[in-house]
Amino acid sequence: MTRNEAFLDYWHATSAQLDAAFEEWIPRFFGGHPGSQAAAVHKALDNGKRLRGCLLCLVSDALGGRREDALPRAVAVECVQAASLIHDDFVDGDTRRRGRPAAWTSYGPRKAVLLGDLIFATVLARMVETGRADGLALAEVIAMMAGGAWHEPLESAELDPARLADGDRGSGLYPKVIYLKTGALFGTAARLGAISAASTPDMADLAFDAGAHLGEAYQIADDLRDLVGIDGGEHGASEPTLLSPAIAHFCGPETLVRTACRTVAGKPRAAALTELMPLLRERMHQAVSARIARAVDSVDEFPNNTYTGLLRAAPSQIVRMMLHGD
């Protein structure tokens, strides 16, 4: 069996264990709330890939942790991810999530936003009870994710060239958004895995770096899929505005503002964006590969064991799931 195949087996087994853990820990986390709210939390968690929770468990295993210590933290991370998606779907106007109606279409916008807030606050309280480091890590990442969402342009009026331009392609809006919006939660999942294994702060920092690089690669892959779907593709909708930071970052600021308009450089938007696709694909794939390499490099100081080998395989396999919709 290859290392990649072994990681996929680990992911399948751990995902099943996390599903069982939800049945145990959601009532504990949300026991003080009405049953209808706990049921809504369960529904928000349905059909997820459990990637962040799996990463947390894998880091814990690689560092000699116990699964019983990792699982409640993994449940908390998956709850944070679910709450962020509830908010994102409403803000972005997405009506479907994981093959089902988005929460805001089922409960109404007000209740959906409140449900997301309820999940954030409750799991934060549970993690503070678990330990100061756990509570601080979760509080910081919730704030970071909100900051990432704050920086995303939602209307064409927000597409300011000075704000979106990158210069050296290492600064600017796009790297900031993918780090805050996605990299930080993957990083925090890895950090909590190290914390659950009672590792040193330095090792927890290394784990965070590995997870953050993985999360950035994952988000770029997600954006690549969305960009391919512009104007009639599978993903479509509002991406020309939401993904303008990506277009600016990878193709230069001269292309960026008009991507939300009817024409780009005097051509119909669909035709102009089609011309950009080869360059976008090439540069986005390069960026994904670079971040996968950084994620792998970040675990160099981990103990040399079977789980660390799986951790090295995780970034490329998780990104592959995103690119191919597995």
Q: What is the pLDDT of residues 140-160, one digit of tens each?
A: 999 999 999 888 876 655 556
Strand ranges (DSSP E) for 159-228? none
Q: Which of 202, 196, 199, 205 is nearest to 75 (CA)?
A: 196
Q: What is the pLDDT of residues 75-94, one digit of tens each?
A: 999 999 999 999 988 988 88
pLDDT of residue 249 exceeding 50: yes
pLDDT at 261: 45
Percentage of residues in the chain having pLDDT higher than 90? 59
Given a contact cutoff of 8 angstroms between Cβ atoms, the answer to whether 75 and 26 are in contact is: yes
Q: What is the CATH number of the domain that holds 195?
A: 1.10.600.10
- For residue 206, what are the domain limits? 3-324
**100 three-state secondary structure:** strand
Give the count of domains, the chain: 1
**263 three-state secondary structure:** strand
The pLDDT mean for the chain works out to: 85
Given a contact cutoff of 8 angstroms between Cβ atoms, the answer to whether 321 and 54 are in contact is: no
What single letter denotes the amino acid at residue 33?
H
Q: What is the pLDDT of residues 92-131, one digit of tens each?
A: 888 888 888 888 998 899 999 999 999 999 999 999 999 9
